[in-house]
């Protein structure tokens, strides 16, 4: 480590005693090798530790035989439709078959909890995903709808097991 601390690059970085500074040194070394100049960048230890961790994606469990439901609000569809598409893509990424996912559209966020509870009580699904969007406006309508939707989803989870 002392060798790194005596170099021009590490003097710009500062103390070379921590793992974070060693990683910054390596990145500066590569930049200087190509003749580029960048500003000093301070990194905290938790960030540098995540750089050293290999990240694997995939499913550790099999989704075979599991059924899922997605309850989606039509109101603010410009927001809820892309969220639904992302959810379906994620299910697909984890090898959930299309026929194992049921999508139920409801008029608005207020109805999400009611439908989610009924689906949960049917015991047909292992998980129910609720998607809705309430946009804050100038009135107190947002607070009433958002609170009702949140408590409806909570109640559905508690009442349907």
The one catalytic residue among 40, 42, 97, 141: 141
Contact 13, 25 (CB under 8 A): yes
Does the active-site annotation cover 24? no
**78, 145, 66: which is closest to 112 by C-alpha?**
145
Q: Where are the alpha helices (DSSP H) in 6-140?
A: 8-13, 19-33, 45-51, 77-93, 112-121
How many Å apart are CA 104 and CA 150, to the nearest integer?
A: 18
Contact 75, 109 (CB under 8 A): yes
Catalytic residues: 141
């Amino acid at each position: 480590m002392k060798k790194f601390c005596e170099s021009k690059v590490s003097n710009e970085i500062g103390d070379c005693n921590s793992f974070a500074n060693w990683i910054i040194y390596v990145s500066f070394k590569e930049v200087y090798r190509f003749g580029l100049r960048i500003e000093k960048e301070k990194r905290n230890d938790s960030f540098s530790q995540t750089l050293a961790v290999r990240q694997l994606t995939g499913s550790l469990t099999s989704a075979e035989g599991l059924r899922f439901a997605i309850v989606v609000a039509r109101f603010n569809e410009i927001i809820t439709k892309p969220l639904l598409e992302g959810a379906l893509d994620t299910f697909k990424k984890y090898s959930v078959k299309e026929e194992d996912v049921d999508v139920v559209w409801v008029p608005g966020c207020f109805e999400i909890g009611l439908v989610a509870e009924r689906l949960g009580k049917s015991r047909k699904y292992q998980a129910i995903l609720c998607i809705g969007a309430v946009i804050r406006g100038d009135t107190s309508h947002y607070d009433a709808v958002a609170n009702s939707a949140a408590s409806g989803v909570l109640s559905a989870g508690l009442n349907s097991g």
